[in-house]
Structure 1
């Protein structure tokens, strides 16, 4: 995936919005020049290109109290949210036919925005689930209760998914993955630095406070919080580190149900899977067998009271942000402030829109693309994608480290990549999903259950390779190894304050061609994606010597990013971020060659004193125009396979000779790397 919800960088310039207050510089045709306006010329591009490219914009756009980070994607989000809010308000007032998408959008919005009703209800919407847990008499009942809670959206012990079999992409398979933690990553339970120790203390306090809100007295709440922490720590100890989860072979263990039962003595998986609504799966794919050995162990040895504490906490955590204000405040205090540094909660309407997106994303998407993503816009960027693909093919043919037979296979894979731009050709059918005005939490639970069963229904059926995993109004993009496809949602094509016609090719090719299209294409050939063939199956199609030479180059990326120190003592995890960093570098060099074929590049005319090549690199940096609080940055370094934004700019450009030429980078400047140290892959 090219980006996640932590960073939200963008693709390119499409949707027209109102000019930002920071746009103080205009090009010759009186259109705003985002690139020139954002520059901080007090910083040398060879010392910190990210700050040089974005410094003035960052100064003019401080992080709001309600946010842990802020970037150009947030500016676009404001525009999209305004549109979706209006759509939802109109739906709520429309008295639409029962069962229609408009009725569901309107009812979800109406009850979600009703804070008075939420406060009156308190914890009532989750009381049936809490009662189910409290009624357990023996540990033998625990798997059945877990099986009931997981479809509702509760992260309890099992990481269950239906996905394409990595080694047979034409078949859907049941996956079991490590799960069940309340802190963002296993390292939070063990790291000994003062920052993480404080987070563990605050987590205990948070769990106890939430349990008190459910009615437990202080002593019992503290005791149960300790029980939760103890059980989660056992699970965390058997969970793999972030970088270890990126090895597709090491995280693929296909087992029969009999083999799974043998892995976890005492656990009856035939019964458990039936309770989870699976109908006789013949095999499961276990990502981390050692984690499931621990699952079997804790189900045999953990006392019933500990399970009651753990499952009560899991249900409360899953729906705290859907309940009354005290639950929301406490949830925000820990997950918003302690972990991520935000000091004020986002407005309720924005939080409701985010939940509505999760529940009814395709219903909203149909309305979104109809009004805001015109056919002519889609046509332009379909063409841009094809141009970048052609440039990548030329790079594959030119590289000196890949043998001729592997090049043939690589070009075949590239040609077979499915290019999905804008929106899907068919939409999800929500007719079986009940949405009403009973409570926000109940709507969320029903939507989670609908989504669970939607995925479950795929078992035993042909794989639908036309399906999208993101909605058109999502600011993101991804490469799917199983489908060998890149997916570029419509809403990602947006920059506030600039009409598509006003965007010069240099900006567009840097912003879209490099930071997203080229990036996503490169994911098919990074250290992880390159292990899947043109049909999406996991097997080695490179020669051993090709793989060795490729890994040498990737190790250069790992070493480079391991060397970056942030917040005094924290480091980027070069191994965990290797795929994204490799894709960033590939996207830049591939996008640049595609840009070199444009008229703007060939004419070489300056705009606001900037050459086409300079504007190309600034266009790339524009996609990472964001900053974040230290707390959020620390969380990202432990939990995310993406490097922080500043290093996704400074890191890859320091390896690109054209960057040195464009900005006159010289020895002695901070970004300068001698030729022998520069990483060259594509």
Structure 2
């Protein structure tokens, strides 16, 4: 189970658009015809040589795919990156203008300016060398006993607030902390302990026998040795082998991504005094005291076999091996903020080798990204003032209202749903909290020290402040309105434990949402995304959480059986998609997101038709309303991705690759009529084989 349900995959990827000729209308043509200057569809990007029923992604995007190159500093490009680029440009203008200002000391504006300036001052970074790592190295070097090791490991505990893929929480620290309400107690926040301890993106990179993964491991050995040599480490090659051997053992102890998604496997509340017995090998008293968690009576252990297995390694592996690992992790984690040779080496492995990205981003872009990450709400407050007018917020809220209403109405028409389940679903949708644009309250950075000459220290202090913020929630009432993203983030999220949705301001921009564009395009693009997030409250994860966010399955056995049968059809459907030669999408791993795509598109389609008020949609530029709706959906998932990045995505992401998400349309009856899709065409599904859930 995911604590968060994101609409996107890892780094919101990229897109450059070319605009371009429409297909002939094939559904019943309404009487009204029009020419519209802004229909929200890239007409020139359509490939008319492809039948919509053979490959709808290629039909909607084929010309764009042929004419578009992935930027050299990106691993992919596409519609979401077009929106990301716009948000990046907007935030960079804000941040860079502050860098030239004379904001008062202690203000958020001054902190933003100084953080950015410190990141951009490469001469100072070169001058500092490895000196900023001294505070990290000293306690590691001072480790003499297992108790010392436990204290150092505990002091490195950090919070899981990554807005990319919360299920597959990745940290080089031994464990990670997540804080939100208890799975069974909706009134109190609880600490969740998560597996960690490895530097590569997932356990598969250490364990898979796929030839590309094997090759990545060989290059990782080279990278680790090179990084250690650069830092003046004696016998770097041997140390690298020792470090990777320990990371591999940690990876073997970790649970898989599929198992980590299962909320029932995550509901493991341990009394803090029981850790020594359940996970021997680590001095838990020393660990929790150093992590400031010793005042907790209970902790939920998300991946219990991983926690037990990793703790055993702490007790069994040589102390010196752990010290080597910790020094390397400190160096690897800090490398982007160290002198250029370290940053370049880090990018060469994580960017070029693992993602296939040939060129590192310009430093100012990296500076903007990091400022956004570490001072997110401070930048966000400025962002919404400049770029998210109340009129846009009102229009999106109206769109959300219509799609929620469509979902609610569909509950009344589902023949398979029993009255008991329908009543619970109605209760849940009635209490669903949808937040648009930005949070009601903002983070307080008044205690955060930011210096214009200390880039690594600034980052570490910001991370520590976030950890302190998460710790402060323990023992406090649950904030149902808490946001887990900043307004300038291009993403959207469903929060099962809060029964809430967040739609940040940055994703609510063209081409995903344009307040001046045709309704069909807005419903087909951002509307389907909104529907996607709403549906997570009612999917295989949502079924496990009631209206208050408590872990309580509210489906009758009959309804659960129907849902299981329907979703297994979807698993098989996605298992058939070949992303790379011999490498298929994992339908089970991506199931929750695929369900949300089908359900979200279904709800958005119903809401679009309801928005017409019983009137026929006009034909615009030769396209019917339904054609514009589905084309907008297909073009929302427009994407090109490098093979290495795609391989990583398949191993670590719960979302299917974008080109297959566009094929969701084959489960919607209206798509067949809109494009006259016939039996024998590659995407054609017989009516009984189309997955219908909501």
In the alignment, which residue of structure 1 is the partner of 2:672?
Answer: 660
In the alignment, which residue of structure 2 is the partner of 1:176?
Answer: 193
| Stretch deviating more after TM superposition (486-495 or 258-267) | 258-267
In the alignment, which residue of structure 1 is the partner of 2:7?
Answer: 3
In the alignment, which residue of structure 2 is the partner of 1:504?
Answer: 518
CA distance in 1: counterparts of 2:147 and 2:177, whole angstroms: 20
In the alignment, which residue of structure 2 is the partner of 1:44?
Answer: 51
In the alignment, which residue of structure 2 is the partner of 1:16?
Answer: none
CA distance in 2: counterparts of 1:152 and 1:661, whole angstroms: 49
CA offset digits 1:282-324 (Å, max 9, x no partner): 0010112211211221121111220111101111121111111
Q: 1:405 to 1:5 in 2, by over 3 A?
A: closer
Aligned with residue 207 of structure 1, among 224, 227, 236: 224
Secondary structure of the corresponding residue to residue 654 of structure 1: helix
Q: 1:53 deviation in Å?
A: 0.9
In the alignment, which residue of structure 2 is the partner of 1:216?
Answer: 233
In the alignment, which residue of structure 1 is the partner of 2:366?
Answer: 351
Q: 1:456 deviation in Å?
A: 0.6
**Consecutive aligned runs of 4 or more in structure 1 exceeding 4 Å deviation:** 24-27, 151-154
Checking the alignment, whether the CA contact within 8 Å between 2:537 and 2:543 is kept in structure 1 is yes
Secondary structure of the corresponding residue to residue 186 of structure 2: strand
Q: 1:585 deviation in Å?
A: 0.2
Question: Where does 1:355-374 land on structure 2 (aligned, <5 Å)?
Answer: 355-374=370-389
Aligned with residue 18 of structure 2, among 19, 22, 25: 22
TM-score normalised over the length of structure 1: 0.95
Q: 1:21 deviation in Å?
A: 6.8
Checking the alignment, whether the CA contact within 8 Å between 2:667 and 2:691 is kept in structure 1 is yes
CA distance in 2: counterparts of 1:148 and 1:409, whole angstroms: 44
> Does 2:213 correspond to 1:196?
yes
In the alignment, which residue of structure 1 is the partner of 2:81?
Answer: 74
Q: 1:7 deviation in Å?
A: 6.1
CA distance in 2: counterparts of 1:563 and 1:31, whole angstroms: 37
Aligned length in residues: 669
Q: 1:207 to 1:7 in 2, by over 3 A?
A: closer
CA distance in 1: counterparts of 2:614 and 2:57, whole angstroms: 23
Q: 1:439 deviation in Å?
A: 2.1
Checking the alignment, whether the CA contact within 8 Å between 1:519 and 1:583 is kept in structure 2 is yes
TM-score normalised over the length of structure 2: 0.93
Q: 1:133 deviation in Å?
A: 1.2
Secondary structure of the corresponding residue to residue 34 of structure 1: coil
> Does 2:562 correspond to 1:549?
yes
Aligned with residue 409 of structure 2, among 394, 398, 415: 394
Question: Where does 1:50-69 land on structure 2 (aligned, <5 Å)?
Answer: 50-69=57-76
In the alignment, which residue of structure 2 is the partner of 1:608?
Answer: 621
In the alignment, which residue of structure 2 is the partner of 1:185?
Answer: 202
CA distance in 1: counterparts of 2:328 and 2:212, whole angstroms: 24
| Stretch deviating more after TM superposition (595-604 or 355-364) | 595-604
| Stretch deviating more after TM superposition (103-112 or 269-278) | 269-278
| Stretch deviating more after TM superposition (49-58 or 550-559) | 49-58
In the alignment, which residue of structure 1 is the partner of 2:637?
Answer: 624
5+ residue gaps, structure 2, are: 23-33, 161-170
Checking the alignment, whether the CA contact within 8 Å between 2:13 and 2:77 is kept in structure 1 is no
Checking the alignment, whether the CA contact within 8 Å between 1:152 and 1:445 is kept in structure 2 is no
> Does 2:651 correspond to 1:638?
yes
Checking the alignment, whether the CA contact within 8 Å between 1:401 and 1:550 is kept in structure 2 is no
Aligned with residue 526 of structure 1, among 539, 544, 565: 539
Question: Where does 1:104-183 land on structure 2 (aligned, <5 Å)?
Answer: 104-151=111-158, 155-183=172-200
CA distance in 2: counterparts of 1:266 and 1:318, whole angstroms: 26
CA offset digits 1:155-197 (Å, max 9, x no partner): 3211222222111122111111111111211122121121110
CA distance in 2: counterparts of 1:90 and 1:604, whole angstroms: 45
In the alignment, which residue of structure 2 is the partner of 1:15?
Answer: none
Secondary structure of the corresponding residue to residue 371 of structure 1: helix
> Does 2:680 correspond to 1:673?
no
Checking the alignment, whether the CA contact within 8 Å between 2:667 and 2:685 is kept in structure 1 is yes
Q: 1:25 deviation in Å?
A: 6.9
Checking the alignment, whether the CA contact within 8 Å between 1:159 and 1:180 is kept in structure 2 is no
5+ residue gaps, structure 1, are: 11-18
In the alignment, which residue of structure 1 is the partner of 2:27?
Answer: none
In the alignment, which residue of structure 1 is the partner of 2:593?
Answer: 580
Q: 1:499 to 1:165 in 2, by over 3 A?
A: closer
CA distance in 2: counterparts of 1:69 and 1:282, whole angstroms: 45
| Stretch deviating more after TM superposition (156-165 or 374-383) | 156-165
Aligned with residue 90 of structure 1, among 97, 109, 116: 97
Q: 1:354 to 1:486 in 2, by over 3 A?
A: same
Q: 1:459 to 1:654 in 2, by over 3 A?
A: same
In the alignment, which residue of structure 2 is the partner of 1:306?
Answer: 321
In the alignment, which residue of structure 2 is the partner of 1:14?
Answer: none
CA distance in 2: counterparts of 1:159 and 1:548, whole angstroms: 35
CA offset digits 1:410-453 (Å, max 9, x no partner): 11101110010111121111001111112211111010001010
CA distance in 1: counterparts of 2:345 and 2:312, whole angstroms: 33
In the alignment, which residue of structure 1 is the partner of 2:341?
Answer: 326
Secondary structure of the corresponding residue to residue 592 of structure 1: helix
CA offset digits 1:372-431 (Å, max 9, x no partner): 111111111111101001100121111122101110111110111001011112111100
Question: Where does 1:223-372 land on structure 2 (aligned, <5 Å)?
Answer: 223-372=238-387
CA distance in 2: counterparts of 1:161 and 1:501, whole angstroms: 37
Q: 1:129 to 1:24 in 2, by over 3 A?
A: same
Secondary structure of the corresponding residue to residue 691 of structure 2: coil
Q: 1:362 to 1:57 in 2, by over 3 A?
A: same
Secondary structure of the corresponding residue to residue 618 of structure 1: helix
CA distance in 1: counterparts of 2:353 and 2:439, whole angstroms: 38
Q: 1:222 to 1:260 in 2, by over 3 A?
A: same
Checking the alignment, whether the CA contact within 8 Å between 1:9 and 1:476 is kept in structure 2 is no
CA distance in 2: counterparts of 1:149 and 1:213, whole angstroms: 24
Checking the alignment, whether the CA contact within 8 Å between 1:24 and 1:32 is kept in structure 2 is no
Computed over aligned residues only, the root mean square deviation of the Cα atoms, in angstroms, reads 2.0
Q: 1:102 to 1:262 in 2, by over 3 A?
A: same
Q: 1:85 deviation in Å?
A: 1.9
CA distance in 2: counterparts of 1:604 and 1:33, whole angstroms: 15
In the alignment, which residue of structure 2 is the partner of 1:513?
Answer: 527
CA distance in 2: counterparts of 1:231 and 1:550, whole angstroms: 42
In the alignment, which residue of structure 1 is the partner of 2:390?
Answer: 375
Checking the alignment, whether the CA contact within 8 Å between 1:228 and 1:310 is kept in structure 2 is yes
Secondary structure of the corresponding residue to residue 512 of structure 1: helix
Secondary structure of the corresponding residue to residue 209 of structure 1: helix
Question: Where does 1:457-472 land on structure 2 (aligned, <5 Å)?
Answer: 457-472=472-487
